[in-house]
Amino acid sequence: MNYNSIVLGIIFIPVIGSLVLPVIGRASSRLRNILSFIFIFSSFLLSLKLVPLVLSGRTILILKPFALGLNFTLYADSLAVFMACVSSLISAIIVTYSFGYISHYENQNEYYSMVTLFLGAMMGIVFSANLILLYIFWEITAITSWRLIGFFRDKPYVLKADKAFLVTVFGALVMLTGFLMIYQQAGSFDLAVIQGKFRIGGISNLAVLLILVGIFSKSATLPFHTWLPDAGVAPSPVTALLHAAVLVKIGVYVFARIFIVNITPDILWNTIVPLIAGLSAIISAGAALRETDLKRLIAFSTISQIGFIFFGLAIGNEFAVLGSLLYILMHGIAKAGLFLCAGIIEQNTKTKDITKLGGLIQTMPFTAIAFLFCSFSVMGIPPFGGFFSKYMVFSGALATGKLWIVLIFLIGAFMTIIYLFRVFNLVFLGQQNISAKETSPIMVASVTLLGILSLAGGILISYPYQFAQIAASQMLKGL
């Protein structure tokens, strides 16, 4: 298999596979589940095959010209392959967890089809090198997210799914307007051409603003953040996949791809974006401190942590960008683990209210330890993986002299420690108020694996560090 076929396979194996899963599901639910995992895990294995190539500095370009600049253009570099590996690995673990979680619900055929299609669309975004192609895959993720958030067909759930859809699609249309403005200036939607025009500046500030609206709406960043906590009505593997590990990272990735790799905006944006990210981190952390619904609390935590990633990318030096890339990996693993632990708790106790829980470490020890390990990583406690990514972001920011913004994020980091310890104390320690046990071995095994990876990501930091370092260096090349 040549490298072009590998890139196409990463995208279209899950995309095409998602179309056949509902048909297969009518004959065998077990086969459907296995095939869904195979389609997603195939993307991960194929992404791994590209790692040696991109680490050597080589890239892959697939270009099929069409009219009006709507070219089918795919590009694989170290940033794209890093993101593909992270997203597909976490997605494969979450789908495995779904075998236990989803097994007694209706609409399973649609669930596995939408999850698999979502991953394929995510891979399409990662490798797209044409803004219109990127937009098409971007909107596919919006459609799949809408169906998955509204998985439970009760009207209140559907309304919250509609809210998420409307906010993100509105942002996407605003972003598309920004893309059209870039086309007017550059004469092309292809990122390679755009890079040649705007790598050293000259891009319209209005176009930058419009694109940021789309990015912030998808990544649930202030002031477009309210849809994410409401999306907690979805099944826990959906919230883990779409709203912690993968979906909200789409905006972060596109920000890095457009505004670091291809376009250099006005220097003013290096202050505005960290400020918005800092306010988003602080406000959402404050909401997490007061929240009693476990999944909404974790969602607010996600909004806060996404701010840290934007912060590092906007600072723009190599150490901060490197920290942000590692943050994507470490936060994706840990936050997926927290959401999946929340799913085990909710299914076995029939409540998400942390004030009604307590003492669950006595009967759910694996879930408790996995939750604690994932929490340590999100907090940035050494030697967990989240410590190194957070340290690099802060160090890179301090090197630029932006002390006042660093102080904002330090407050946010301290608040993260407070609200996660509060959750662990109320849910797992003290007197047991609700009798519950860990009932699904595959669900428990999935969260245990994510807990172990949260620790291993720190102990074995040299391996992802080398990959992320090469990606960060290639991203900033030429600045």
The string of pLDDT tens digits covering residues 275-304 is 899 999 999 999 999 999 999 999 999 999
Q: What is the mean pLDDT of residues 41-67?
A: 92
Q: How far apart are CA 62 and CA 7, in angstroms?
A: 9
Per-residue pLDDT, 391 = 93
Report the Cα 381 to chain-centroid distance in Å. 21
Long-range contacts of the stretch 399-407 (C-beta < 8 A, 24+): 399/317, 399/319, 399/320, 400/315, 400/316, 400/317, 400/320, 402/271, 402/274, 402/315, 405/271, 405/274, 405/275, 405/278, 405/311
Pairing of strands 60-64, 72-76: antiparallel
Q: How far apart are CA 54 and CA 78, in angstroms?
A: 5
Distances (CA, A) of 102 to 41, 110, 242, 373, 414: 19, 11, 16, 25, 36
Q: How far apart are CA 448 and CA 222, in angstroms?
A: 32
Residue showing tokens 């202030």: 222
Q: What is the mean pLDDT of residues 443-447?
A: 95
Q: Tell me the pLDDT tens digit for each residue of 340-353.
A: 999 999 999 989 99
pTM for the complete prediction? 0.94
| Chain length of the chain | 479
Residue showing tokens 């942590």: 305
Q: What percent of the chain has pLDDT over 90?
A: 68
Domain residue ranges in the chain: 267-479
Pick the closest to residue 331 from 354, 352, 301 (CA basis). 301
Q: What is the mean pLDDT of residues 371-393?
A: 94
Amino acid making up residue 256: A
Q: What percent of the chain has pLDDT over 70?
A: 97
Instruction: Note whether 224 and 280 are within 8 A (CB).
Output: no
Q: How far apart are CA 30 and CA 430, in angstroms?
A: 40
CB proximity list for 119: less than 8 A, separation 6 or greater: 14, 39, 40, 43, 87, 88, 91, 246
Residue 315: is it exposed, middle or buried by C-beta count within 10 angstroms (0-12/13-18/19+)?
buried
Q: How far apart are CA 308 and CA 304, in angstroms?
A: 7
pLDDT band at 479, cuts 50/70/90? very low
Residue 474: is it exposed, middle or buried by C-beta count within 10 angstroms (0-12/13-18/19+)?
middle
Pick the closest to residue 107 from 15, 17, 29 (CA basis). 29
Q: What is the mean pLDDT of residues 118-137?
A: 94
Q: How far apart are CA 326 and CA 318, in angstroms?
A: 12
Q: What is the mean pLDDT of residues 446-467?
A: 94
Q: How far apart are CA 108 and CA 371, in angstroms?
A: 27
Q: What is the mean pLDDT of residues 263-281?
A: 81
Q: Which of 60-69, 266-275, 293-302 has the highest mean pLDDT?
A: 293-302
Instruction: Note whether 235 and 343 are within 8 A (CB).
Output: yes
User: In DSSP terms, which residues pair with 75 in a beta bridge?
Assistant: 61
Q: How far apart are CA 149 and CA 131, in angstroms?
A: 27
Q: How far apart are CA 272 and CA 266, in angstroms?
A: 11
Per-residue pLDDT, 267 = 62
- Average pLDDT of the chain? 90
